[in-house]
Structure 1
Amino acid sequence: MIVRWGLDELGLLLAELGISRPLLVTTERFGELELPVATRFSGVRRHAPVETVSAAVAATHGADGLVGLGGGSAIETAKAVSAETGLSLVAVPTTYAGAEWTPYFGMRDEAQKLKAGGSGARTVAIVYEPELTLGLPLEETVGTAMNALAHSAEAL
């Protein structure tokens, strides 16, 4: 796994990976962030609903890679898209959830009230930008840190 520090490393990293037309998978909050991406899907919703993943997969037309930027839901959505399409993923987490480290992802089928998921995400790199975590509310900081512990146990 390639790990880089600082959002300013993203463009160079994408070039090194041969990704020239990445799709950004993120939330509305980060949808307008200045990034070296070709297209954007900023419709990520909490707990990666199946419909959201399907919409993000549809948005990959013409993309040759993915950048998943956001908290656990954004990273989970991007991992599901990666598994479905086979596109390589560069994860840029903005919380402490730790979802970027596993190939597994979870989704929610709201119509059937079921949890779904799978594996097979092709996460090839992670870019950490500490500045993106500075504005997290205490509740989200603690909650995502506990989620990271769960991901650690899952990895064992």
Structure 2
Amino acid sequence: MMRTWILPMLLVLCGSAVATLLIFEGNPGAAAALLLVFLVLAGMNSPLIFPRSIGAREAQRRSAVDGRPVVFWRPGCKYCVRLCIRLGRSARQMHWVNIWRDLAGAAAVRAANDGNETVPTVVVAGQPHTNPDPEWVHEQLSCFRQGEREPLG
């Protein structure tokens, strides 16, 4: 668990150090702007923005039982962040797999994307969809919430 926080902590520490230097040089405005950039980058790479990740095999097993989509993602991916933010609370209803922490997840993404680790890859009813529109994913979630098992076309 601690390993997932290393990059965000390093970004905050580096941003703080650079901002401190800029303040001592008499540039508080630039220091504040730069610190804000580092904080945003740290937030995008932190585990706080994404729901808890599970392994690919466990996600596929759970999806087979409850029919909810599986999302393969990786920290720092702006498209993954966009998907998570646009889904809002609904994002927690899906099964999330961090491909940097799960070799089987990375292999599943490569198999679905001609050998590339393109994320987010969302698997709905066994069919992978690479970087789908967040509204489409939201529709798929509402389909499963209403008890329908077939995904929308």
Say whether the fold is shared (TM-score over 0.5). no
Q: TM-score, normalised by structure 1?
A: 0.26
Which of the pair has the greater relative contact order for Cα pairs under 8 Å at 6+ separation?
1
Q: TM-score, normalised by structure 2?
A: 0.26
> Which has the larger strand fraction?
1
